[in-house]
Amino acid sequence: MTSQQKTDMHHEHREASLETNSWLDDIYMWRAEHKQAIAWLAQIESAIHGNDAKLQHHCGIVEKQERHIRQHEHAIAMNEQSGKYKDQSALDTAHKLFNEIQAKARKDHARLGELHRQQIAHVKHLLKELEGGAE
């Protein structure tokens, strides 16, 4: 091996060492970012659980409305069957409150549905991106 070849090898090694040191710096930084991303994922999971609690609350309201419909229909039928058409003010008051709750539930349902669709689409997109980048 000539002196020039040895010099060239040393030069290539110094260049490669600078390059690999830079790569190691990148890798350490990326791994730290992975740890941060895992913490963010925990926050995302917590937010999803929070959204699920909101959906559970909304479900309770919807189920209560469904029960009201059945009970109110029964009360109307009983009023009609009595043949006297008793005072309907209690039925009217209950129905007015039902309509107010139904209108709010309708808006909440639309808002929750849109938010849900957006968030799930983002999570699916992120998962697809991360799975594709893992190759």
Instruction: Report DSSP letters for 22-62, one per residue.
Output: HHHHHHHHHHHHHHHHHHHHHHHHHHHHHHHHHHHHHHHHH
Q: Which two tokens stand for residue 38?
A: 């895992």
Q: Which two tokens stand for residue 53?
A: 């609690």
What pLDDT is recorded for position 69? 95
Provide the b/e sequence for 27-37 (b: ≥16 CB within 10 Å). Answer: eeeeeeeeeee
Asked if 94 and 72 touch (Cβ cutoff 8 Å), the reply is yes
Query: pTM for the full model?
Result: 0.76
- pLDDT per residue, tens digit, the chain (135 aa), is 899 999 999 999 999 999 999 999 999 999 999 999 999 999 999 999 999 999 999 999 999 999 999 999 998 888 888 766 666 788 889 899 999 999 999 999 999 999 999 999 999 999 999 998 655
Amino acid at 73: E
Query: CA-CA distances (angstroms) from residue 8 to 4, 21, 22, 69, 127?
Result: 6, 20, 21, 88, 46
Q: The dihedral of CA 22, 23, 28, 30: what is its sign?
A: positive
Asked if 58 and 105 touch (Cβ cutoff 8 Å), the reply is yes
Asked if 77 and 68 touch (Cβ cutoff 8 Å), the reply is no
What pLDDT is recorded for position 50? 97
